[in-house]
Structure 1
Amino acid sequence: MHPNVHVNVHLVDRRFRHHLRPYLFQSLAAAAILFLVLAIQDVGTHAVIIAAIASTTFILFFMPHRSAARPRKVLGGHGWGLVVGGTIAFIASSAMGQTFGEVAPYAFELEAALAVGLTVLAMVATSTEHAPAPGTALGLVVAPFQWGIMLFVIVSVGLLVLAHSLLRRWLRDLV
């Protein structure tokens, strides 16, 4: 290593010790809200949907004042994920009674890529970019279409945005 190069490696963020209360409050609040959201419906087999919702929880509770946490972006992004992913999943399930991937080689890959790509295009075109939202679209196409999962996403995202709006004044950007 060059003598003028100083490596500064920290396992724990320096701000953590000085801002312990916000870190703990926001972590516990995020966990409590996510627990309530996940308790609404048994979605244990929909890991991609859960990951998208959990990622949104992170943005809302740890980056609460950033653009990605604005209600328009969160609701709009997941809305596009629902519309695009739901449409592709519905067409596939209705036309064949199963997902594309169960019928033809590379059909699943095409279905998934279209769901994500078209969701991203719609978000960018409408200024509703929210990084976890393409996960919603992907989560809808990896399994046969179910109205219950669509409703779960709507209620979950709505509750997260409501909780964020109610707690926002006490939340800090910790990232």
Structure 2
Amino acid sequence: MKDNRDQSEGNQRRIKRSVGRCLFQCALAVLTMLVLLMLLDVLLHAAIIATLGASAFIVFAMPKAYSSEPKPLIGGYLVGICTGCLCRLLSTSRLVMPVLATQRASGVVFGALAVGVAIFLMVVTHTEHPPAAGMALALVLNNWGYLTPVSILSAVILMAGVKKLLDPILVDLV
């Protein structure tokens, strides 16, 4: 009977410790996102910025996962941003518009293409970061200014820096 009580007490201590760890890492995610959102034009680019929330989950809830490392985090976004920008330019090209008839059809076709090409390039370059494929799509489907890609990449670099700085104390929560 005593062994069961000891196990139960050990489980309770582990749960309390993991709840504290979870709250700490979630607070880090909140603070990081707060800084990023204050620096970025949230209302104008909500769909584009939403991918950063998914990245924050990976970085702070699964910090030991490969996709939370700087190479796939920054590299994945570089691929997603470049692919999204290129597909956006192609979708608005005068050469493409007569073939696809409408801007909506062009956005749909090139949005899908952006996701597929981004996935392929991330796999080939070993920079797999799933939210970055969403970034490629968001850049095709939304209007944005020339500073938007720079702002997003800067935000990702900041997130990678926070993760790298705190990596020794972060643990996988899932």
TM-score range, shorter chain: 0.7 to 0.9
CA shift in 2, pair 1:95/1:164, >3 Å: farther
| Distance apart, 1:88 and its partner CA | 1.6
After superposition, where does 1:1-175 map in structure 2 within 5 Å?
A: 16-93=15-92, 95=94, 103-104=102-103, 106-175=105-174
Query: Partner amino acid for 1:23?
Result: C
CA distance, structure 1, for counterparts of residue 60 and residue 161 of structure 2: 12
CA shift in 2, pair 1:94/1:40, >3 Å: farther
CA distance, structure 1, for counterparts of residue 50 and residue 112 of structure 2: 18
Higher-Rg structure is 2
Structure 1 stretches of 4+ moved >2 Å: 15-18, 45-48, 90-96, 100-106
Q: Which moved more, 1:140-149 or 1:75-84?
A: 140-149
CA distance, structure 1, for counterparts of residue 166 and residue 83 of structure 2: 31
| 2:11 aligned residue | none
| Distance apart, 1:111 and its partner CA | 1.4
> Between Structure 1 and Structure 2, how many residues are aligned?
160
| Distance apart, 1:105 and its partner CA | 5.5
Q: Which moved more, 1:101-110 or 1:75-84?
A: 101-110
Contact 1:64 1:164 in 2 (8 A): yes
| Distance apart, 1:92 and its partner CA | 3.6
Query: Partner amino acid for 1:163?
Result: V
Q: Which segments of 5 or more consecutive residues in structure 2 lack a partner in the other structure?
A: 1-13
Q: Which segments of 5 or more consecutive residues in structure 1 lack a partner in the other structure?
A: 1-14
| Aligned sequence identity (%) | 31
| Distance apart, 1:19 and its partner CA | 1.0
Q: How does the TM-score come out when normalised to structure 1?
A: 0.82
| Distance apart, 1:18 and its partner CA | 3.9
CA shift in 2, pair 1:64/1:152, >3 Å: same
Structure whose residues are more often helix by fraction: 2
Q: How does the TM-score come out when normalised to structure 2?
A: 0.82
Contact 2:91 2:106 in 1 (8 A): no
CA shift in 2, pair 1:58/1:134, >3 Å: same
Query: Partner amino acid for 1:114?
Result: L
